[in-house]
Chains A and B, each alone.
Chain A
Amino acid sequence: MNTQASAKNTGSNKEAPAFFDEMRSADGSIRPAYRKIADWMGQQSRGGMARKQEEADAIFRRLGITFAVYGDNASNERLIPFDLIPRVIAAQEWRFLERGIEQRVRALNLFLYDIYHRQEIIRAGRIPADLVVGNEAFLPQMMGFDPPGKIYSHIVGTDIVRTGENAFFVLEDNLRTPSGVSYMLEDREAMMHLFPELFAAHRVAPVERYPEMLRQTLESVAPPSCKSDPTLAVLTPGIYNSAYFEHSFLADQMGVELVQGSDLFIENGALYMRTVTGKERIDVLYRRVDDSYLDPLAFRSDSTLGVPGLFDLYRAGGVTIVNAPGTGIADDKAVYAYVPDIIEFYTGEKPILSNVPTYRCSIADECNHVLNNLSQLVVKEVHGSGGYGMLIGPHATKAQLGEFEKKIKARPSNYIAQPTLNLSTCPSNVGAGSAPRHVDLRPFVLVGDKIRITPGGLTRVALKKGSLVVNSSQGGGTKDTWVLED
């Protein structure tokens, strides 16, 4: 009440949200990591930047770095906008993030092993049994099976948002088939091509080793039946998949075959690809096809994207599927709320990175809170991804709020809600100079014989003024992300 009165007194009803500006401190001074970037920005002319932007767009389009937007018929291949101003992360900030991510990824892999074996965490009463075994993402077929190295999620994209100097939150753990790493790599290529002088002036941690590290990771989880150098392949649903560019990019960078289901067959306890000379055995399959399409005999029988018999072969140790089927249970949005407990349970440590406070509509009290505060919350479908089927309370119309109220009441367990996060901002090139825009961060983690985290990751930026949605399907762009070395 007091705040409202005082707002009236000053003649302003604007609730000034305290967005954390990654370049500027509250007093307007430039943070140390951004000093040279700020100088450089000051030296760029508007026309010069516009030319560089055109050059960058031409590079991306010519290389075919496009993505398909579902439901967008007019132009089914679009460029993800590339922002010219890099996002900078200081060395000590990165060390903190790195520790937190590693802890989280380690714990989630231990959680997956546990729930597909003795389910100690359920027995200990730390997570409801129904939430796990009653979950669509739980694969009973995985029970009792030991994947090589006991690793389930080898390739992880942890979505992180920042709201303050030391306030980092994990928004989502992507443990199934996270994408975006090709943009991280191509953004760096483009920046080095466009602004070599910036790299000469900074010590930017390299990201170029990712494909090599991915290869090492995949080779380290070869199945027991593999006695020599393992043969790897990347499995794609095909050229019409939205992330097809990335699939072919990664196969190319690793120097392995990019295969489709129709190229593969199983014979005498091994997976083969059809080649011009006959056949060649595959030991490790990095699949970018969802669980349910992997094997028509084990999962969706109408799938033509997978290989009949693949799952049995996997369980028999004839091939390693990366990521393992069934990892979706650990990045399910309903399970997300329990991740801090999961970390404590398996590591005995306090979580280094925080979760975003999450209301579970499956719990009556929390659901009521959500319904009463809908206009201030972000509501997400438990199984949705990529910004589809999501409500942003503060930006929603009356009609949209009403629609979600109905949806939540009809199926409460299908929704979670989180407070709107004041995502930090970074300077972005907006045509008329630069302006702060909201960003998030997806670092990429590889889990094999050891955990390898590429410094930085993919920064997604909401290019629309005031927008907090960074998804490429909703008009978000990307930035090159720099971790500065000491």
Chain B
Amino acid sequence: MLGRTAASLYWMSRYIERAENIARLTEVGYRISLTPDIGIGHREDWKSTLIAAGSYEAYVERHNEIKPEKVKHFLLFDRDNPSSVRSCLETARNNARAVRTALTREMWEALNSTYIDFASVRPADLGSGKLPEFLDWVRQRSALFRGSMLGTLLRDEGFHFSQLGAFIERADNTARILDVKYYVLLPTNETVGGDIDAFQWETILRSVSAHRSYRHVYKDRYRPWNVAEFLILRPEMPRSFCFCYGWIERSLEGMSEIIGKKTASHTEASSILNDLKTIPMDAIFQSGLHEFLTEFLKRNNAVSAHIANDFHFL
């Protein structure tokens, strides 16, 4: 497989995953904007949505105030925002076009028809409550693509690179959501513990579609350390660091087998996975949740850079 093909598969998957995550974050932002003002603080939520989406700097460069309509447009439709859902779908499709031969017809059709249908959506049509339906649609299309891939793609190099792109992106996204809200998760803040906090915790879980599975796992009300543990260390939670790194490690191991030696990216991913499996939540809180998340984001980026280098992405 060409290095460029591997790179395109990797970025195609990253951008589809990102489109889905941006849709989730926007949905949460929208929900919050519908809830009554129950205290100070949470009106800043569009700002934290932008930060979690990694688009805050790009937004303030172009707009001098945070207005819900502008933020929504920026996150969903703005071509100047490389992480808007529109930009993500376009970038994903361009990458897919460049490697048509490495995709199955079903994968291509899932992506291409999403792109075509998205192009016909007019932002003006999404007023008066149509937004959630649209965001649902984005998530469904992402799920369709992933389903097509899992159901039809040969389990060879192409599959590994698609998996790597998706899980590196997902791990990055979960880490950024946590980092934006880390202060409400700190155990010392528990004295606050009021309605706003409970609401914030639910928000975090909702943005990774985990507010119900949390209850199945913990059988308890939302508690900040549980929320953090759920998203970082729980291997059964499909958006947790530990889950993502399980798959990243597996795919890199597959690639090491194919090329006959252990790559730098594989070594680094194994070490991250091992850390996630052994570190207790207490230790993370003691050394500082924010510091832990910053370090994780750095290591996740390093794995991405190693992958590009190990497999000749150019």
Contacts and interface: CB of A to CB of B under 8 A. Distances in A.
Interface stretch (A119-127, A244-252, A332-340, A407-415): A244-252
A276 interface: yes
A347 B51 CA distance: 74
A260 B4 contact: yes
Interface residues of A, number: 24
Contacts, number: 64
A263 interface: yes
A277 interface: yes
Interface string B72-114: 0000000000000000000000100110110001001100110
Nearest to B259: A277
Interface residues of B, number: 25
Interface in A254-300: 257-260, 262-263, 273-278
A262 B112 CA distance: 26
A251 B292 CA distance: 47
A64 B259 contact: no
A14 interface: no
Interface residues of A, dominant DSSP: mixed
Contacts of B184: none
Interface string B94-137: 10011011000100110011001000000000000000000000
Contacts of A263: 2-4
B233 interface: no
A167 interface: no
Contacts of B259: 276-278
Contacts of A277: 1, 258-259
B241 to A, nearest CB: 26
A60 to B, nearest CB: 11
B255 A276 contact: yes
Nearest to A280: B2
A194 interface: no
A67 B7 CA distance: 25
Contacts of B314: 262, 274
Contacts of A238: 98
Contacts of B210: none
B101 A244 contact: no
Given A62-B113, A64-B108, A274 B2 contact: yes
Interface of B: 1-6, 94, 97-98, 100-101, 105, 108-109, 112-113, 116, 157, 161, 255, 258-259, 311-312, 314
Interface of A: 61-64, 238-239, 244-245, 248-249, 251-252, 257-260, 262-263, 273-278
